[in-house]
A and B are shown apart, each in its own frame.
Chain A
Amino acid sequence: MSVLRPLDKLPGLNTATILLVGTEDALLQQLADAMLKEDCASELKVHLAKSLPLPSSVTRPRIDLIMFVVNLHSKYSLRNVEESLHHVDATFFLGKVGFLATGAGRESHCSVHRNTVVKLAHTYRSPLLFCDLEVAQCFVGLSPGCGHGTAYQATLRQHPTCHS
């Protein structure tokens, strides 16, 4: 079983690679486009994947940050993230993983409770952001003590009404 490890490759020179994992391709694409519009100290690359494990590839650079995207309207997207988490090495969770939950704004459409993702993020000791990609508003969920990579700031910055 292939497992993603944070330090199994050499870092690229002045590059940062983010991996977005989620079932809804259009959502990931939107997020990636927004991230790339931000100024970044390093050269930013975004990989989009439906789930883990990733297909084997020697050319893939080292992944610096994984964002798991859950759509609260879809139990399928939560299940997909839960299964993908098994393919990530434990050391990744020391500040290189984040969770993004979308769709909290439309309560009536939510089939996944917010507390479910809160508990999930807590279990994996990783930060959680609530976001609504259709509406330009963002609430930042709890998670003290996590790293702030450049790319991570970009995720926050794309929604100007957002505070940490």
Chain B
Amino acid sequence: MNGHCNLKVNDTAEEFLCNNKGFSELIIDSKKSVVHRKHETSRKEAEDKSRLPALEAAYTSILRELGEDTDRQGLLRTPLRAAKAMQFLTKGYHETIDDILNNAIFDEDHDEMVIVKNIDMFSLCEHHLVPFFGKVHIGYIPNKKVVGLSKLARIVEIYSRRLQVQERLTKQIAVGISEALQPKGVAVVIEAAHMCMVMRGVQKMNSRTVTSTMLGVYLEDPKTREEFLALSQSN
């Protein structure tokens, strides 16, 4: 077993992972072995270039349908720029945890909480293709293995640079860290502003959405959870 059973993952997380066939290619399949995970990408960098013309054509058609004049100077190369921008904003699809974590896990005899907070996060709402952005706070209690601090931010990048739903993003980050480190517990809190609510629809400028995932000892022990929440919210 790949160490996943060391963690007391709550039932709903397991259920969520197993039952949600929707994002089958993107799922962190907890049963897959490390070898199989290496090949788990649905998009490779070389493919990006070959897909660019189709994306450009789609954007040109969008501009025209919106009533704009695609020949004016400001819009001449916009389809290409917009296509590249969109590919950048979804580049998380061709990155995996293994690529970035491989060398940065260290054996340290440390079992106190480690928190990295205020990680800026930018993602795309999968329902409206409009950005949402905010801050991610991550805490974990190592179990003899600590991870390089920037790797936590890189894990956030991998999962956020995709078409996302904030709830799923939070869980994916938490589960990704769990799998890589097998810590005693992981906590992830995301506070974000959704442009789909701010720029359109209800148009509430100051609304923020907060989601959290608590795994392991953070779920079971309220005091640990409180400590994390107090430390990550303080400013």
The answer to whether A and B interact is: no
